[in-house]
Amino acid sequence: MSELTTGGPEELTWSYPSPAADGTTSGFVWMGYEEATESNQQEWVDFLNSTNESEHTIQNTGWDKASFVGLYNADWTSNFYSKATGGDKPGGLGSRTYETQNVGTGVKFTKTPIWHYTVEGAYVKEIPADCGAYHSVDVGGGNMDNHAGPTPDSEAAKYLGDSKYYWDDTCCWYGIVSDKQ
């Protein structure tokens, strides 16, 4: 069972209904990576039944069923996110979550030039080598420096090893291909 009351976005599986830009609420949104199961839905029902919140109950709030496919699915959407303005879409085609699902955590990608440090240590404004892969390092005072490649010792760095990233135009996601045949 997932933890429904604490944790960051990586751990959250359901979101409370939020007002959409048009003033309506979207219903409970599934924020899990994979498809929601009946067990996942029951988990949320049990959680709501155990709280004393009168605003959000099973009786007065719906489910955002378009989100049940999971964030890794190209078709993930929600009534709230389709109507809300601003911010990055958390899942589905065009989101960072969808595009990087095959490369592990600890890497970001850009298709436009950014200021970053190359592997050789030069500070340049260009698309980072290896398909635009980079990571950010906190240098203090709220400042971040971008560096080419995945975060050292991250899941993404372990997946990548001595291989290279590529962009798959058909699936619209990043992948890893080995130079070794």
Question: 181 in a domain, yes or no?
Answer: no
The answer to whether 95 and 78 are in contact (CB under 8 A) is no
More confident residue, 3 or 173: 173
pLDDT exceeds cutoff 90 at 15: no
Q: How far is CA 138 from CA 8, 39, 108, 145, in A?
A: 19, 39, 15, 7
Is the domain of 19 the same as that of 84?
A: yes
Same domain, 119 and 145: yes
Instruction: Give the lowest-confidence range in 24-28, 82-86, 113-117.
Output: 82-86
Segment 94-109 shows an average pLDDT of 94
- Strands 164-168, 173-177: pairing is antiparallel
Alpha helices in the chain (DSSP H): 38-49, 79-83, 96-99, 129-132, 155-160
Residue 115 lies in a domain: yes
Mean predicted confidence (pLDDT) in 75-91: 77
Question: Residue 72's pLDDT band (boundaries 50, 70, 90)?
Answer: very high
- Max CA separation in the chain (angstroms): 61
Domain-embedded: residue 23: yes
53 domain-assigned = yes
- 91 shares a domain with 134: no
Q: What φ, ψ does residue 130 adopt, rounded to 5°?
A: 60, 60
Q: Which residues contact 36 (CB under 8 A, 6 or more apart)?
A: 30, 67, 68, 69, 70
Q: How many domains does the chain have?
A: 2
3-class secondary structure, 44: helix
Contact 110, 174 (CB under 8 A): no
- Write down the residue that tokens 């719906």 correspond to: 62
Output the pLDDT for position 88.
76
Rounded to whole angstroms, the Cα distance separating 34 from 26 reads: 20
| Confidence tier at 82 by pLDDT (50, 70, 90) | confident
Which of 97, 127, 143 is the C-terminal boundary of a domain?
97
Domain that holds residue 151: 108-176
On whether the CB atoms of residues 79 and 28 are closer than 8 A, the answer is no
Chain Cα centroid distance, residue 28: 18
Residue 5 pLDDT class (50, 70, 90 cuts): very low
Residue 133 burial by CB count (10 A; 0-12/13-18/19+): exposed, middle or buried? buried
